[in-house]
Amino acid sequence: MPPPVTHLEQSKDDQDDLVFLDEHPGAPAASTGARSVWRVMIIDDDEDVHSTTTFALGNLDMQHRPLEFVHAYSASQARELLKHEQEIAVILLDVVMEQDDAGLHLVRHIRETLQLHDVRIILRTGQPGYAPEIDAIRDFDINDYKTKSELTRIKLFTTVTAAIRSYEQIRKINQSRRGLNQIVTASTELMSLHGVKNFAAGVLAQIGDLLGIEPHGVLCVQEFPDGGCHELVVMASAGTFRHLNNVALTVCQDQRIHEALDMALTQRRNLYGPDYITLYFAGKASRDFVAFLEVKRAPSDIDERLLEVFCSNVAVGLDNVELVSHLHTAAFYDQLCKLPNRTRLVEILDAAMAGPAREEATLSLVDLDHFAETNDALGHQFGDMLLIGVANRLQTELGEHVTVARIGGDIFCVLGDSTQVNPGNILALFQRPYSIDGQDVQLSATLGLVRLGEHEGSGADALKDADIALKRAKSQQRAGHFYFSRSMGVEIRERVRMMHALRTGFGQNQLFVVYQPQIDLVTRRPVGAEALLRWQTPDGKFISPDRFIPIAEYSGLIIDLGEWVMRTACRELVDLRKAGHHDFMMSINVSQVQFRHPHFLDMLKRALEDTGAPPQNIELEITESMAMEEPDLLIKMLAQIKQTGVSIAIDDFGTGFSSLSYLQRLQVDRLKIDRAFVTEITGSARGSSIAEMVIQLGRNLGLAVIAEGVEDERQAQILQALGCPLAQGFLFARPMNASALSNWLSNDALEGVA
C-alpha cells in the first residue's frame, strides 16, 4: 500500500516515461526544485488503482508544475485526511468502496460540509451500473465521470490536465474576487480613519493583508519645500521600518529604498522586485505618494493586478483625506499662528465645561492694545511676525497645560487652571518688549476673564461673557482687566432681548409717532410740534424711549427707525398745512448714529421730495454732545443740510460743555433749554440763572430759544419775563397722535391755551 502522500521522485519510471514522452514529445522534463505542485488526491479501495495512477502521471508536468499525490483507501479515511490537507486541486474518486454509493456520499460531504468548492472531482468506477453516468452528473457536483476501463494513460492525462486547468482558473477568479472584496473592505475601513497619518498607516496594514504578509515598509509623500528639489517625507512606517515615522527619508541609509522610490516616482508606476515592491499613488498638486515594502517572494500576476486596483483606490483616498485634513485645519486652526481658532476653541470649552477641571478653570481674552496702529505704521508683514511672537510667548511661558487660541485679528484666548490663567501671569508677559525683525516693540494688553466654575451655559456662552468683560475692561482703562459677573450677564442679555423685541415691534407696527405742541408764550398759540417716537407692546405696556432708543442706536435699527419717523412727521406736516396751518413748524429728533450715517443727507432729501413737505417748516434737533464731538466734521455736514432749507436746533442745551466759538460756526437756528433747568426756575436755590444765561446767549447770537418741560404756570411766567419766546410741556399739551393733534389745533388751540 503506498503511503498517504506520494512525492514526485517516488513515481518515476523510465520505461513509462519514454512511452508517455513518445505520446507527448513536446512536454517539458519534470523537475521538482522549489516549484509548487498540483496536489491530486486518489480515493480508492483498490491499491492497484493507486499505483497505476501514480505510475501513469507521477513524472509529468501539468501547467508547468509537477504532481503530488495524496492517498486514501476508503471514504472514511478521505474524510479524515480532508480535514487538514490543504490545496487539493483534483480528487480521483471511486464510486463503490465501503458501500455501493460511498463515493457519492463523499462528494456531498466535500461540497456541503467541508465547503470545498474549488477542488475538481473526477468519479471513477469499475461498476458503472451502481451509479448511472447521467444521473451522477446531474445530481452531484462533479466535473467528470469515467469508467476505469476507459481511462488509458492518454485519457487519464487529458482528464486530469483539464481538471487542473479548471481548478487554476477557478482559483484565479476566486482569488481576484476575494482580492477585490478585500480592496472594497479596505477602502471602507481606510476612509473611517481620521487624519492623514492614520490613513497612511492603514494603507500599509491593508497592503500586508492583501498580500498575506506582515508589512515591513514605509509610505512617503513627495514634497517641494520652498519650491526646491523634491523631498520624501515618511507619513507612516511599519515593522522593521517603524523607527522612520514622521521624518524625512534622508535619515534612512538604505540606498536600495531611495533608488526604488525615486524610480517609481520617475516612471509613475508600481515596480516589483524579487524581495520588495514599490507602489505609486498619483496625487494632486505635485504631492505624489510612494510606498516601499519588503516581501519574501515576488508577487503573482493576480497580486500585481490587485495592487494596481488598490493603488488607484488609495490614491483617491489619500487625496481626499489630505483635502479633509486641510479643510479641518482651515476650519479649526488659525493659519498664521497655527493655534485653535474660535470654532475649535468653542469645542474645547464645551469639553472643559463638561469635565471635572471646570471648577478651577479660567478663560481669558487677551486683546492687544493699539495693535492696529502698529500694524499700519510698520506694515502687515511686521504685524504678522509680532502676532506669532505673542502666540509663542503665551504658549511657552504659561505652561503646557494651558490652551492658547487666536479668535480674532489681535485677540488671543487663554484657557487653563486659574493658578496659571490670571491677570498677573498674563499681563507680566507684556512687560518685556518683543524683538521683531531687529526692532524692540513694547506691547500692552487688556483682559476679559470668566471663571468657568461660576458660569452656566455652553462654551460659546462663556466666550461671549469673556467678550463682555473685555469690553468693560476696555471702557475703563487699557492694559487692565475685568472679570465677568452674573449681573453683567443679566444686563447684556436683557439688552439683547429688548433688541430682538424692538425689531419685532417695529415690523409689527407697535411703534408710532406722537406730537407735543410748541407754544408762543406771549399769545399762547401753537407754532409747531416736536415729533416723538413711542413704543407700546401688545400687552399694553409702554417702553420708555430712554430704554429703547440707545438699543436702537447700538443695533443700527435707528437708521430705519429714524427715516420712518422723519417721513411720518413730514407727511403729518403736509396734512396740517392742507388743514390751514401754514406756518406750523415740525421738529424732528436725529440721533448721533443716524446723523453720522453716510447716506443721511440723501435720506433727508428723498423724504422731503417724496412727501412734499416744505423744508422751511422742518427743524432737525441734534443734542449738544453731538454738536461738540468732531465739530469740524459737523460744521460741514450742517452746512450741507442748511442748503436744503431745513433749520437746526440744539436740544438739551446747557447739559454739556459747549465751545462758544464752535457754536457760532455751526449755523444753528435755535437753542432748546433742557427741562432740568426749567425745573430749577422754581425748585432750586440757583433759580433761573442757567435758563436766563441760555436765553441771553441766544439773544446775543441771534438764535431763537425754546424751553421744554414746562409744567406749571409759574415756570411759564418766569420764562416769559426772562425773554424766552417759546415753550412746550404738560402745562400746554401732552404728546398726542396725529388725529388728536389735528383736532386740538382746530378746537382748543383756537381759543388759546389757558
What pLDDT, on the 0 to 100 scale, is given for residue 29? 34
- 68-77, 103-112, 171-180, 422-431: lowest mean pLDDT where? 171-180
Rounded CA separation 723/692 (Å): 8
The top-scoring range by mean pLDDT among 197-211, 259-273, 712-726 is: 712-726
Where are any strands of DSSP class E within 456-565? 481-483, 511-520, 526-536, 542-543
How do the domains of the chain map onto residue ranges?
5-175, 193-332, 342-484, 498-747
Per-residue pLDDT tens digits for 31-76: 333 348 899 999 998 888 898 888 888 788 887 889 999 999 998 8
Mean pLDDT of 731-738: 95
Helix (H) or strand (E) holding 241: none
% of the chain surpassing 90 pLDDT: 31
What pLDDT, on the 0 to 100 scale, is given for residue 682? 81
Per-residue pLDDT tens digits for 15-28: 333 233 333 333 33
Topology annotation, domain 342-484: Alpha-Beta Plaits (3.30.70)
40 Cβ contact list (under 8 Å, min separation 6): 57, 67, 68, 69, 70, 88, 89, 90, 91, 92, 160
667 Cβ contact list (under 8 Å, min separation 6): 635, 638, 639, 642, 648
**Residue-averaged pLDDT of the chain:** 82
pTM over 0.85, yes/no: no
Indicate the CATH number of 193-332 among 2.130.10.10, 3.20.20.140, 3.30.450.40, 3.40.50.720.
3.30.450.40
* Residues 139, 131 contacting (CB under 8 angstroms): no
What pLDDT, on the 0 to 100 scale, is given for residue 202? 75
In the predicted structure, residue 273 carries a pLDDT above the cut 80? yes
Residue 194's pLDDT band, with cuts at 50, 70 and 90, is low
Indicate the CATH number of 5-175 among 3.40.50.720, 3.10.105.10, 3.40.50.2300, 3.40.50.1000.
3.40.50.2300
Residue bearing cell 429714524: 562
CATH architecture of 498-747: Alpha-Beta Barrel (3.20)
Per-residue pLDDT tens digits for 613-659: 999 999 999 887 776 666 777 888 888 999 999 999 988 776 654 55
Residue 5 β-bridge partners: 70
Per-residue pLDDT tens digits for 425-438: 999 999 999 988 88
Residue 378's pLDDT band, with cuts at 50, 70 and 90, is confident
One fold for both 342-484 and 498-747? no
* Residues 290, 220 contacting (CB under 8 angstroms): yes
- The shares of helix, strand and coil residues in the chain, as percent rounded to the nearest 5, are 50, 20, 30
Cα dihedral across residues 476, 478, 480, 481: positive or negative: positive
